[in-house]
Amino acid sequence: MKTKVYIGIRWKFLAIFIGCTGLTLLFVLLGWLLASYLIAYSPYNRPLIWVINHIGSKITGVVFGISFFAFLYITATRPLVLYAKELAAVLEDMASGRFHASTDVKTADELGTIAGNINSLSEQVHSYLDEINHGLTEIAQGHFDYQIPVRENHDLGRIADSINAMSEQLNHSIQEERNAEKTKNDLITGVSHDLRTPLTSILGFLEIIDKDRYTDEVELRYYMNIAYEKSLSLKKLVDDLFEYTRINNGLPLHLRELDVVGFFRQLAEEFVPSLEKAGMTLQIHAPEQPVMIRADGDQLARAYENLISNGIKYGSSGKYIDIYIAQEDGHVSIRICNYGEPIPKRDIPYIFERFYRVEKSRSKSTGGTGLGLAITKSIIEVHGGQISVESSTKQTAFETLLPAAAAPA
């Protein structure tokens, strides 16, 4: 394998200059000798004599020498100039977007190096554009998880990274849309089921009454009472469903400064009859000073009413409901604890889902709409908070975290 000798372009121009200078001197010398020979022969000497007499031999020699040098220099440098123009044309093609353009490496100098770099750049850019184009084709076909390789320190790599980010965002948006569609379908299914059950019972008992299939007024009142209770359950389901959809469709909040401690003390007063009926006591454990948040008091009351009601309904055997209020790290923590039967571990991940009911709450005495905790979660989240639940044989605790109100400047 032959190793090409690298000769810089400056040395080539220097060699051309020296060569042209030497040939020009030789040309002038030969011209002078030829003129000296021809000057003795008539009639060939007449033009020479005229030039010598009217122009001068030195000036004539200089003019012919310069002209001959220019001719030689232009001729000798023409291949290099044409090669440079060829490289410029390739770069213009690339600037026009034709990145597959390439050229031959004809010289072992700076122009050859430029040609090699142009070819390498063309190959890299064309290859990477093919990868990006392939990735866009995959994305266009719905393969949103496809990732275009991102080359570090490469301008096209930033484009590839942006395309990947766009694909991820698009995939996320499509998944959200699919989830929303599934949520809507699940909601319709759940509503249909939960509306049909009490409605079927109501229609059944009303049919008995309508067709006089009861024995006496006592039995009539019994059937009417059941139909009435089922109607109340139906109304509560419709109310809860309306509240849930209203919150999730962008509930307007009327925010104001709210003292959490005073809020829960007032809320506890409203539950005194229910607590006495269940034989329970509600205890509030809170700091002496006010704990302030910005919230919609009416909506927050709806959320915590659900949690306290659940504590009375399912924790009556524990005799106590404890509410712990604390402020830390810019958040207000509120824990509502009851000491009844624990929530089964299998149910905890789904406890805040719509229409989900823990098995023990399906009885007629405690059965709800399955929307209470979902409504609570939505209200807490629109306030910028979080809700979680822990349950064991010792206690069941619902904890909410809400942003604390900013301290006055």
- Whether residues 260 and 238 share a domain: the answer is no
Helix (H, G, I), strand (E, B) or coil at 213: coil
In Å, how far from its chain's centre is CA 281?
Answer: 49
- For residue 252, is the peptide bond before it cis, meaning its omega torsion is within 30 degrees of 0? no
Polymer length in residues for the chain: 409
Task: From 217, 247, 277, give the residue that closes a domain.
Answer: 247
DSSP 39-80: TTSTTTHHHHHHHHHHT-HHHHHHHHHHHHHHHHHHHHHHHH
In a domain, 241, yes or no: yes
| Token pair in block for residue 400 | 């909410």
Compute φ and ψ for 337, nearest 5 degrees: -115, 135
CA-CA-CA-CA torsion sign (221, 224, 230, 236): negative
In a domain, 278, yes or no: yes
133-191 tens-digit pLDDT? 888 888 888 887 888 888 877 778 888 888 888 888 888 888 878 876 776 676 666 66
In a domain, 352, yes or no: yes
Task: From 70, 103, 128, give the residue that closes a domain.
Answer: 128
Place of tokens 């009601």: 309
289-305 tens-digit pLDDT? 889 999 988 889 888 98
Q: How far is CA 125 from CA 156, 166, 243, in A?
A: 8, 22, 57
In a domain, 150, yes or no: no
- Whether residues 389 and 361 share a domain: the answer is yes
In a domain, 333, yes or no: yes
- Whether residues 102 and 243 share a domain: the answer is no
Helix (H, G, I), strand (E, B) or coil at 142: coil
CATH code for position 234 = 1.10.287.130
Residue closest to 251 by CA, chosen among 375, 388, 368, 403? 375
Task: From 109, 128, 147, give the residue that closes a domain.
Answer: 128
pLDDT at 114: 83
> CA 388 to CA 377: how far, in whole Å?
9
pLDDT at 190: 64
pLDDT at 35: 78
- Whether residues 217 and 270 share a domain: the answer is no
CATH code for position 286 = 3.30.565.10
Residue 106's identity, in one-letter code, is K
- Whether residues 395 and 328 share a domain: the answer is yes
> CA 121 to CA 91: how far, in whole Å?
11
Domain count, the chain: 3
More confident residue, 24 or 53: 24
In a domain, 262, yes or no: yes
Helix (H, G, I), strand (E, B) or coil at 345: coil
In a domain, 173, yes or no: no
Q: How far is CA 402 from CA 25, 283, 314, 342, 384, in A?
A: 97, 21, 25, 25, 7
The half-sphere exposure of 181 on its side-chain side, counting CA atoms within 13 A, is 6
Quote the domain boundaries for residue 263: 253-403
- Whether residues 213 and 259 share a domain: the answer is no
355-390 tens-digit pLDDT? 655 554 433 444 555 677 888 888 898 888 999 999
- Whether residues 117 and 203 share a domain: the answer is no
- Whether residues 263 and 207 share a domain: the answer is no
pLDDT at 254: 83
Secondary structure letter of residue 342 according to DSSP: P
- Whether residues 242 and 258 share a domain: the answer is no
Evaluate if residue 5 carries a pLDDT over 70: no
Confirm if 336 and 320 have CB atoms less than 8 A apart.
no
Secondary structure letter of residue 332 according to DSSP: E
In Å, how far from its chain's centre is CA 289?
Answer: 43
- Whether residues 221 and 271 share a domain: the answer is no
Percent of the chain's residues with pLDDT above 70: 88
244-299 tens-digit pLDDT? 666 666 667 788 999 999 999 999 999 998 999 999 999 999 998 889 999 988 88
pLDDT at 388: 93
Cα 352–356–357 angle (5° rounding)? 110
In a domain, 138, yes or no: no
- Whether residues 28 and 110 share a domain: the answer is yes
Confirm if 299 and 375 have CB atoms less than 8 A apart.
no
> CA 281 to CA 320: how far, in whole Å?
5
Start-to-end CA distance of the chain, whole Å, equals 80
- Whether residues 40 and 105 share a domain: the answer is yes
pTM above 0.95, yes or no: no
